[in-house]
């Protein structure tokens, strides 16, 4: 390996976060995260390219869901999540992180959420699975609500990163729900329930913080 070539051992671990699974994910997947980050750097992928790849793979997931190919959609959702994690990591590693890049990443993340949860809702409704379709719609509304409250809070000078159901947890729940037969209704119920708790938690923190 030539000098200057990114090595997994030299990569930083994932950033600390407050989500439900973050402690376990950090312990289990730190080595994989470092290898993926080193690979992205070695391939000279830019943060924007990774963000675009995440959006494209999420569009593919949406198409697969609308065709009823839930297992395939769950498998494709894995690299979509990887790209989503790596875009910010690459930007921070190269020192190119910016507010504009963070805004674009956040905006396209919301588009991806709309595509995936919207496609799940339509696919389930088309199959007559009304309960699951309703849960998917609630999960979508809650997900967008959590992101909106965070944006409004931070605009008011109140940082809001805490919460049980972060983006990582949502992605893991959907992947597991799509890959395990009969698991989607459980995953959607968890997303809707814990997502609502996160929404209330952040809204309370925003109001309390703005009043200080």
Sorted by sequence, the CB contacts under 8 Å of residue 203 that are 6+ apart come out as: 149
User: Catalytic annotation on 109?
Assistant: yes
Q: Return the axis-axis angle of helices 99-126 and 70-94, rounded to nearest 10°.
A: 170
DSSP string, 29-67: HHHHHHHHHHHHHHTT--HHHHHHHHHHHHHHHHHHHHT
**148 three-class SS:** helix
Considering only the C-alpha atoms of the chain, give the largest distance between any 2 of them, rounded to a whole number of Å.
58
Which whole-number Å values give the CA distances from 20 to 17, 35, 66, in the listed order?
9, 24, 30
From 84, 87, 105, 109, active-site residue: 109
Nearest CA among 174, 32, 146, 170 for reference residue 89: 32
Tokens of 117: 């949860």
**Residues annotated as catalytic (active site), given as ranges:** 109
């Amino acid at each position: 390996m030539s000098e200057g070539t990114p090595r997994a051992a030299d990569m930083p671990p994932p950033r600390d976060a407050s989500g439900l699974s973050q402690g376990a994910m950090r312990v289990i997947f730190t080595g994989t995260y470092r290898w993926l980050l080193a690979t992205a750097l070695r391939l000279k992928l830019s943060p924007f390219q990774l963000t675009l790849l995440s959006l494209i793979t999420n569009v593919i997931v949406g198409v697969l869901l609308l065709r009823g190919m839930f297992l395939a959609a769950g498998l494709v959702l894995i690299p979509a999540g990887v790209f989503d994690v790596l875009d910010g990591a690459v930007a921070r590693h190269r020192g190119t992180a910016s507010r504009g890049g963070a805004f674009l990443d956040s905006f396209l993340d919301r588009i991806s959420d709309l595509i995936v949860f919207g496609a799940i809702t339509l696919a389930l409704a088309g199959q007559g699975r009304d309960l699951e379709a309703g849960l998917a719609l609630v999960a979508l509304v809650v997900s967008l609500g959590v992101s909106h409250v965070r944006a409004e809070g931070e605009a008011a000078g109140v940082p809001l990163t805490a919460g049980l159901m972060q983006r990582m947890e949502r992605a893991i729940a959907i992947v597991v729900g799509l890959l395990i037969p009969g698991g989607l209704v459980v995953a959607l119920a968890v997303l809707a329930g814990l997502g609502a708790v996160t929404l209330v938690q952040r809204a309370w923190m925003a109001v309390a913080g703005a009043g200080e």
